[in-house]
Structure 1
Amino acid sequence: MKSKLKRLGLLPKLLIAIFIGTILGLTTPRPVIGILATFNSLFGNFLEFSIPLIIIGFVVPGISNLGKGAGKILGITVAIAYISTVIAGSLAYFADSSAFPLFLKAGAVQLDASDPSKALVPAYFTIQMDPIMGVVPALLISFVLGLGASALKGDSIRNVFSEFGEIIARLIEKIILPLLPIYVLGVFANLTFTGKVFEILSVFIKVYGIVLILHCCILLIQYAVAGTVTKRNPLKLLKNMLPAYVTALGTQSSAATIPVTLARTKLNKVSDDVASFVVPLCATIHMSGSTITITSCSIAVLMLNGTPITIGKMYPFILMLGVTMVAAAGVPGGCIMAALGILQSMLGFNQTMLSLMIALYLAQDSFGTACNVTGDGAIAILMDKIKENTIRKKNKVPADTEPVG
């Protein structure tokens, strides 16, 4: 029985946890819910302690490793990937702002655990686990160390932070992710006990529908641009990438899907050297699907809680998402873990809201990852064309001749 449970993926475990949590919330007395709330409090405090470590462990190696490679093509690839991620977040913001008010009542569910009479069942006791630093200092330190390590000729500092990043990845894989189903079970048991869960679930089924539509929209935009630049059929290019999409649905990891993404990108007539450079790089820096999901879910949670949504609040958050998720792609659920810090510091999420965001994001993580990797193929096509044009210009070859390089 244990081995069967071990073989279950994270998504099935989360769905089972949501189901059991809902049943417990309907059938068990308040003391039992209090025990689950106590576990959630302890685990939530540990998560808060881990947030600065996760930021440093992901962002420093991610930025420092960008220094390896080849100058101009590296810079252009990073810029295109970041612009694509920001466009995806912007698309989500404007679409959500128009669509969510049609079915989501602002302030319908107060997700504030500070007043047990109007919110969730409180924990029996808590243990404070103070983070070693705040989120903003962690980000600033990560930028300074990452940029500094990428500028140095030696690999000593880069290797130290790469190994630190591996430690953080194992912390997530071996401790945080295995305990997440219990955490989600406790969240939904508490929400059900206090009568909030069915309203939340009914809202988020519709949110997921909009998120999937937005994933399709951003992929169509990405391949329309790639097809226009290369004068090729964008739908055919997108169709060739479908095996990578399906593989990512199963692995929930952009990094684990690299072999399939690479093969399908080459099928789209991208040169071997460009594909071999761009695809692994974009697997760690291009997060358009994840950005759509996190932006949409965060807007929905804020609206449910009655928090005003403004472009002045959301746009800096979207701009930061593309940076904080760098190198989080290798770990299933890594993107939402990396985003916890800015959800807390920039959008004011409390522990209850963070726990709900984790559950909601991970329930569809595979679709966000699939969108990410499929979009990587479009960036590779663009970069192949840019490289070809650069060679033509250098060699003064007319644009209407056969491809060069």
Structure 2
Amino acid sequence: MFNCCLGGGGAQEKERPQGTPSELHKNFSDKTILDGFVAPPGTPMLPGCDLEGVLGKGTFGSVMLVRERSTQERFAVKIMNKEHLLRENQLENITVERQVLRNAGPHPFIVECHSGFQTEDVVVLVLEYLSGGDMFDLLAKNGTLQEEEAKFYLAELAVAIGELHRFKFVWRDVKLENILMDEFGHIRITDFGLAGRYASGQATDTSIKDISGTAVYQAPEILSRKGHGRIVDWWALGILAYILVAGRPPFRSDDYTELFNKIEKEELDLDKDDRTKILSDEMKNFINGLLVKDVNKRLGSQGDAEEVKGHPFFKGISWEELEKMEMPAPLEPPLQPPVKGDTVQKAEAEQWLREVMGKKGKHPKAVQVADYKNIRNEYKNRRNSIGLDFGNTHSEQSRKTWTGTTDDFGRLATGF
């Protein structure tokens, strides 16, 4: 059992649960239904919370930072507009997300979700707030990583990806922006809206047919359109490993056709690359092994996460200590939590929340998102604190979910 703080700035450290429901869920549980009694309209969905700022704005919604007054704990609340989700055909992705989180959690390296519910107009998620930023921020602050630094983060990622695969889910969205960091510098993977379910653990599994993910991380078998399975995540980890130490993707072009052609046909020579030739033979072999185009020969194709973890590159890693978060992170997290009581951020958040919640969807009222409790949205304009006074409550559900993507934050990876 190890500390994993949900926020900073005066928040109490809490023990991260291992395999049991979070005690903090009690703060967001079914408060308005007790022994069959239904609370009167206007009862707050998240009682006693103050809105503190906007963490992200995206195509499908926004992520708000809130603080619960009684515990001083911070949480990230994601509000997704159904009209936008329907228009972009994203409702199925939201359902898949919940399936991933319900089956693959809880886990120390996956973002925690305390609840998920919906109204006629929005889908809402109450998430663990991670104050340390993401891996994009880490590179922006520190530049490219030393090999030993990269090894630590790649080890935590290998464990997290292996946990998804254990339940036959493929992440398909490995990238810097989807790797968040807590206040101690440990990672949490996030954003499973593009996840897929594979039929078997065989390297040649082609049960997933659609093309998903960020272009520079896509494996050759995705681009071939012949179907793919879990092995695409190990290719993406190889791309990320290269980026961590080189500050740029191994295959790159401003033209998508040229980029995809390089991914499918170009062979890397890390010994001739000025940014990678200084790496140890173990790390070069590790990257090369993950970026093998033949799925049957790619590192991880036979033994999945255990095969990847057994590579000589990870020599010296105590996997038991790592998974218990006993190994300290090599670098401080790149960001710090916002200052409590920042009136500018609070005003911005309140205005943005009014805009998001004030938009009436054009969808049929009967539209539902699977795995989310339905809640009547009758009291959108009667908010005393954060504003999620939906007049009813949700049942306890899965405890993890996603936050955002590159587009949510508008940042461009131009090299570090």
Do they superpose with TM above 0.5?
no
Greater helix percent: which structure?
A: 1
Q: TM-score range by the shorter chain?
A: under 0.3
Provide TM-score, normalisation by structure 1: 0.22
